[in-house]
Amino acid sequence: MAAREKYDEAQVVEQLHDPKMCRSAFGKVIEHYSSQLYWQIRRMVIDHDDANDVLQNTFMKAWTNIDNFRGDAKLSTWLYKIAINESITFVNKKKVMNQLSIDDDESFLVNQLESDEWFDGDEAQLNLQKAIASLPEKQRLVFNLRYYDEMKYDEMSEILGTSEGALKASYHHAVKKIEQFLGETE
């Protein structure tokens, strides 16, 4: 197996604006970010096939708008922003298709979880996912980014356009609500 080439973000960003190199550079971007973006999307949309579609849309959108990316922000921030917007839009569209209210997150996501063949968590993991699904959209996002990805608040602030203080408060409330939910279900 060939050794994987080291990923150099500054070099890749430069190559993205070179017509001769941009396609291969974007291939490197896909290889580097597909996994982390997938898991963020998956935790939002729950179902694997949906996550696959949203990830595909995310990269497609990034590729067709690559000319607008000038390197002012970090590439990861830009990609996370697209991925999160795509995830939220997808979930809302799917809820409309299923004739559910936009605010009716919990039951919709739990149904998704229980019907997903690529979820093989035990009862505790299922309960945790149900607890996360019970959170409001923004808190769910913040919780997933912090708890699973250990993303720093300053980076999260850039992606979500919210102050660090508000994000910390949001995470605190999310943790308390999840603990309460789990306490009631046990």
How far, rounded to the nearest angstrom, does the alpha carbon of residue 126 sit from its chain's CA centroid?
19
CA distances from 107 to 102, 104, 154 (A): 11, 7, 32
The residue within the footprint of another protein, chosen from 61, 63, 100, 155 (CB under 8 A), is 63
What does the alpha-carbon distance between residue 129 and residue 106 come to, in Å, rounded to a whole number?
Answer: 10
Does 26 contact another protein by CB under 8 A? yes
The residue within the footprint of another protein, chosen from 3, 5, 99, 120 (CB under 8 A), is 120
Does 55 contact another protein by CB under 8 A? yes
- Straight-line distance from the first to the last Cα atom of the chain, in angstroms, rounded to the nearest whole number: 48
Is the alpha carbon torsion for 115, 33, 163, 154 positive or negative? positive
Question: Which residue carries 């795509």 as its tokens?
Answer: 86
Does 9 contact another protein by CB under 8 A? no
Of 127-186, binders to another protein (CB under 8 A) are 128-129, 146-148, 171-172, 175, 178-179
Binding interface with another protein (CB under 8 A) = 13-14, 16-19, 22-23, 26-27, 30-31, 34-35, 38-39, 42-43, 48, 52, 55-56, 59-60, 63-64, 66-67, 70-71, 116, 118-122, 124-126, 128-129, 146-148, 171-172, 175, 178-179
